[in-house]
Copies of this chain bind each other. A is one copy, B any other.
């Protein structure tokens, strides 16, 4: 009886940060920019464009796709949910970080643009990921994963 859904299209701000946990689960983090267009209000006030930065978090198969194909500048479609984490800073103050946990990702733009991820563009490793079951997102992924004791 609850829905928490985010849909973003934007550009990746820097190469993803990739980590593998002890259980071999992959996690990717990167910033994604969306930009509102500039416009002029009816009263004639000019509103400049405004960029919003989103902290994207990917798990498992989607994180592995990010490792292979996502780079600074990549245009992405991201579908996921909002999650705000709290943490305590060095001054012992509770602070909050809002992140987007992705459960779907699509690489946009044409195939031959998505190179740039040079180490992966090899003959038997198509530049455009096929995203078939073994590397797919959370759905199929969770079905393939015998060890899955993480809280997300």
Contact of A40 with B by CB under 8 A:
yes
Knowing A1-B9, A54-B82, the reply to whether A43 touches B139 (Cβ < 8 A) is: no
Q: Please tell me the number of chain A residues within 8 Å of chain B, measured between CB atoms.
A: 66
* Stretch binding the partner chain, chosen from A13-21, A30-38, A58-66, A117-125: A30-38
CB contact between A143 and one of B98, B107, B143 (< 8 Å): that residue: B143
Chain A 1-19 near chain B by CB (<8 Å), digits 1 or 0: 1111111111000000000
CB contact between A149 and one of B6, B45, B98, B151 (< 8 Å): that residue: B45
A52 touches B83 (CB 8 A): yes
CB-contacts of A39-54 with B (<8 A):
39-45, 47, 52-54
Copies of this chain assembled into the complex: 4
> Nearest B residue to A37 by beta-carbon distance?
B131
CB contact between A53 and one of B54, B84, B143 (< 8 Å): that residue: B84
Knowing A47-B151, A75-B108, the reply to whether A8 touches B1 (Cβ < 8 A) is: no
Top-5 shortest CB links A-B = A143-B143, A43-B149, A3-B9, A98-B98, A4-B34
